[in-house]
Chain A
Amino acid sequence: MVYSVLRFPNFAHVEYATVGAYFAFTLSAALNLPLGLAAPVAVIGAALVGLATDWLVFRKLRERSDIILMIASFALAIAIREFVLMFWGPSPRFYPVGFSKPLRVFGALISPVQIGIIVTAVVCMGGFHLLLNRTRLGVSMRASADNKLLSEACGIPTDGVVRIIWLIGSGFAGLGGVLIALDTQLQPFMGEAIIIPVFGAAILGGIGSPYGAMLGALLFGFAENVGLTINWTPLLQAFGLEAGAITYIPAGYKEAIPFALLIAMLIFRPQGIMGRRRR
């Protein structure tokens, strides 16, 4: 969504996730707040950081080409990441949630934390859907994304809308960061690790289509983990290559799967699954 309204890929976006996760960590570990209270505060914090970066950096560059914006966001991403490194150090941290007994759902082992993540994600998607389609703000957001000049002519304060989108976008990113950190761990480079999958999900689904982004995220996670378990031998033999009975993609290449998928996607269907062709 941020991408479509602001018209450039914000590389700093995933860094708000890192910031949000670390805010939650500090609040819960240092101030002994329960995580249920720390997380919303951290999300608000991440949203404010997002708004601040817009104010400090992107507001002055809004009239420039999207290439300049992209490079500025790349620089900003590195600045934020290094700030996190400076304050919290390079070693990974964990939330004080402790171990929990895994539950058995449909024969799969799932921890309660993971169930919480899924529930939160579904609630967020639903809330976002309602916001976009049922409120005045959502309508003006979609209008600004579609055609900035026209919506200005209709009396929509696009600058204000842009600010609200920054708030919501970076807030959601912060929430995502807390969830990721809950499932695995916190480290300063967590944002860098997810940037390609995040862009991939947005592009795969079609830029500017939030539903497409959700579908894209699902497909990406699926491809990354299922791609490893597929037996590729028939495919190799079809190309006349020597292959053993079972050929798996080595696990070390797990991260390469979404990258390759993303490039293939950009080449063959740059408008995404649910998007319209731009330009």
Chain B
Amino acid sequence: MIAFGIYLLTITCIWGILAISLNLQYGLTGLVNLGQIAFFMIGGYTSVVLVMLAGWPIGLGMAAGALAGAVFGMLLALPTARLQQDYWGISTLAAAEIVRLVFLNQTFGSPYVGGSFGVTNIPRPLEQEIAPTAYPLFYLCLAAVCLVVCWAVAHWLMRLPFGRALKAMREGDEVPLALGKNVSSLRIRVMGVGGALGGLAGALFAHFNAFISPDYFLPLQTFMIWAMVIVGGAGNFAGVLVGALLIELIDSSTRFISGAVPISPQILGPGRMILISVLVILVLIYAPEGLLKERRRRYPEPR
């Protein structure tokens, strides 16, 4: 039970970073990124390939994963920065599928590494130095530290003029344009930051799970991140973390229910996804601001 709790918290930390990244894009800026999972995938694969094939230390590999996510985010935003939001959503979804197809077809080193086989035996950081019994706890701490750093970065960005310009953009392009802000450049930069966080989360996941394959990065997973942000409360960073915990809890709840209640797995597996999507729809209809509302900063009335 404790082991499961540690696992759940670790996974929540990793997905929490993804949710913070999406919150920066959607909650603050209003960018509908339906290909969020691509950052996760690119970060994971970059770190794994650099560590396993090029022999880089894992910490450096993870940093490179974050960097690769940032570069991908900016490249993706470069041509699409002028699109309307619904088109933006469709093109990011398509881009994420292209990335997935590339990793599905690409092998690394030998014909049985990468591609549809996935990558196995991914090394974990400090695996020799730490006792196997304490290892899950160590990884939880690692993921938690990364989460706190990402949260701090997101908060710091929000307080900068950059963050305020992003919030202005969410309400429409007119105001930031009138203030002389370059809207396209702001979008590209926020996608870069979002990509870096997503890439870091991906690298953390790859070295935690020790196995990755393109099947982990379906559009369904992007929806899970969206569910976290919507249910938790778009625009509120604490909220999206609560959302991440809640969604992960539902997602892994089947382990307990299948033992306690006799339901066939054919009903249980789809059942939890139905539960999550119905929850999202209900939140959108009845509580559009999510569980925790965005805290709006009040400014004194101008005299």
Contact = CB atoms under 8 A, between A and B. Distances in A.
Interface of A: 8-9, 57, 60-61, 64, 66-68, 70-72, 74-76, 78-79, 82-83, 85-86, 89, 192, 196, 199-200, 203, 250, 252-253, 255-256, 259-260, 262-263, 266-267, 270, 278-279
B263 to A, nearest CB: 11
Nearest to B105: A252
Interface string B27-67: 00010101000000000000000000000000000000000
Contacts of B95: 259, 263
Given A262-B94, A263-B94, A66 B280 contact: no
A200 to B, nearest CB: 8
Given A70-B89, A79-B278, A86-B271, A64 B97 contact: no
Interface string B260-281: 0000001101110110111011
Interface stretch (B128-136, B220-228, B242-250): B220-228
Contacts of A270: 83-84, 87
19 contacts: A8-B86, A64-B288, A71-B32, A71-B230, A71-B284, A72-B280, A78-B276, A78-B277, A79-B274, A82-B270, A86-B266, A203-B90, A256-B101, A259-B98, A260-B94, A260-B98, A266-B80, A266-B87, A267-B91
Interface string B267-301: 10111011011101100110010000000000000
Interface in B71-111: 79-80, 83-87, 89-91, 93-95, 97-98, 101-102, 104-105
B219 interface: yes
Contacts of B30: 67
B227 A262 contact: no
Given A70-B86, A278-B84, 20 more contacts: A60-B285, A64-B288, A67-B30, A68-B288, A71-B280, A72-B281, A72-B285, A75-B223, A75-B278, A79-B281, A82-B271, A200-B94, A203-B87, A252-B105, A255-B97, A259-B101, A262-B91, A263-B91, A266-B83, A267-B80
Contacts of B91: 262-263, 266-267
B267 A86 contact: yes
Contact of B281 (A75, A260, A263, A279): A75
A252 B104 CA distance: 8
Contacts of B276: 78
Given A9-B86, A9-B90, A260-B98, A74 B288 contact: no
A266 B88 CA distance: 9
Nearest to A258: B94
Contacts of B280: 71-72, 75
Contact of A82 (B93, B273, B284, B288): B273
B104 to A, nearest CB: 7
Interface string B190-216: 000000000000000000000000000
Interface residues of B, number: 43
Nearest to A84: B270
A85 B277 CA distance: 15
A83 B281 CA distance: 15
B271 A76 contact: no
Contacts of A192: 219
A259 B274 contact: no
Contacts of B227: 75
Nearest to B92: A263
A262 B86 CA distance: 13
Question: Which 4 pairs across A and B sit closest by C-beta, in order of nearness?
Answer: A82-B270, A252-B105, A79-B277, A259-B94
Contact of B285 (A57, A85, A89, A256): A57
Contacts of B288: 64, 68
B223 A255 contact: no
Given A70-B32, A196-B94, A259-B97, A83 B270 contact: yes
A203 B97 CA distance: 18
A75 B87 CA distance: 18
A198 to B, nearest CB: 11
Nearest to B269: A85
A267 B277 CA distance: 31
Contacts of A85: 266, 269-270
Nearest to A267: B79
Nearest to B85: A67
B86 A66 contact: yes
B86 A86 contact: no
A60 B288 CA distance: 12
Nearest to B76: A263
Given A70-B32, A82-B277, A255 B101 contact: yes
Given A67-B32, A70-B32, A86-B266, A253 B101 contact: yes
Contact of A83 (B85, B86, B274): B274
Contacts of A279: 84
Contacts of B278: 75, 79
Contacts of A266: 80, 83, 87, 90-91
B274 A61 contact: no
A169 B211 CA distance: 42
A203 B86 CA distance: 11
